Amino acid sequence: MLRILDARTGEPVPARRGPTRIEARADGLDPTALRVLLTADLLVRALELGGTPVWTILTAPHDRTALRTAATALTIHPFEDARDLTPGPGTVQAIQVTAGAADASGGGPVVRVAPVEWRGECLAGRRADPTSGHAPESAPDPALPALLQDPSALRLALLTVPRGEAVRLDSALLEEAAGRLARWRRAVAGWARRPSRPVPDEVRARLRSAWEDDLDLPGVLEVLRAVESAPDLADGARFETYVYADRLLALDLARDLGSPT
């Protein structure tokens, strides 16, 4: 069962089974907001893999359209309209994901993410007036940020760092993630040409143990690295392992199936 660290208490709590609402809170389109949306998406995927029905809403005072566009690029589940922030009939828990202070108004656990720093181009196509003392107005149709030029690489780069640790994104980190992603996609395409084998029970248990332990995504990636180089594992089992893990990671690891080597 998935256990998550509740930022209100600092204690891990089990995610209860039953209809669950996840609220992602973002102040505007910036790297930290993207991490909030990604964390909400990972919660959705982890809960659904355990058989829990989930629905998500986005709470954002600025850049709602741009945030939804960014979420689509990052392969994040669509957010429903937040017409009513109270849990609906039958909802057994409400989980809030935020980079800000914990808000106990929802009554459920709060998942907090650490900030992300990026020194690249302006993300939302908007500028603050330093003399006004007010938040900047959103541009009507902001362009996708430079970070989203390779959204899969950005997603992988953010997954490599525990969400409670701050991330300093730079071109080197993104290039490293893009290189690993390309290597894994080529490997998966090659393994797919071999006879299929089931995911080894031990590997499946290690994967689930990692992501059910407060969404330990670096731990999941470490299992994949071990599977990639394990000398006694059949290529068909490697393939099935990567496809299984990608139900959570959503990195499109099977994208190159059928392509020439």
- C-alpha to C-alpha distance for 241 and 237, rounded to whole angstroms: 6
- C-alpha to C-alpha distance for 168 and 31, rounded to whole angstroms: 10
**Percent of the chain, pLDDT > 90?**
66
Yes or no: say if 39 and 245 are a contact pair by the CB < 8 Å rule: no
Segment (H or E) for 13? strand 11-14
Q: Per DSSP, what are the bridge partners of residue 80?
A: 57
- C-alpha to C-alpha distance for 87 and 137, rounded to whole angstroms: 31
Task: Compare 138 and 140 and report the one with higher pLDDT.
Answer: 138
pLDDT in tens, 23-58: 999 988 888 999 999 999 999 999 999 999 999 999
- C-alpha to C-alpha distance for 109 and 199, rounded to whole angstroms: 33
- Residue-wise DSSP of 211-234: HHBT--HHHHHHHHHHHHH-TTS-
Question: 218: pLDDT confidence band, cut at 50, 70 and 90?
Answer: very high
Task: Give the mean pLDDT of the chain.
Answer: 86
Q: How much is the pLDDT for 188?
A: 97
Task: Compare 30 and 217 and report the one with higher pLDDT.
Answer: 217
pTM of the entire predicted model: 0.87
Q: How much is the pLDDT for 48?
A: 94
Q: How much is the pLDDT for 86?
A: 56
pLDDT in tens, 222-245: 999 999 999 999 999 999 999 999
pLDDT in tens, 80-112: 876 555 555 566 789 999 998 877 666 789 999
- C-alpha to C-alpha distance for 72 and 169, rounded to whole angstroms: 21
Q: How much is the pLDDT for 180?
A: 97
Q: How much is the pLDDT for 84?
A: 52
Q: How much is the pLDDT for 251?
A: 97
Q: How much is the pLDDT for 204?
A: 97
Question: 130: pLDDT confidence band, cut at 50, 70 and 90?
Answer: very low
Q: How much is the pLDDT for 135?
A: 41
Is the pLDDT assigned to residue 129 strictly greater than 80? no
Is the pLDDT assigned to residue 132 strictly greater than 50? no
The gap from C-alpha 46 to its chain's centroid, in whole angstroms, comes to 10
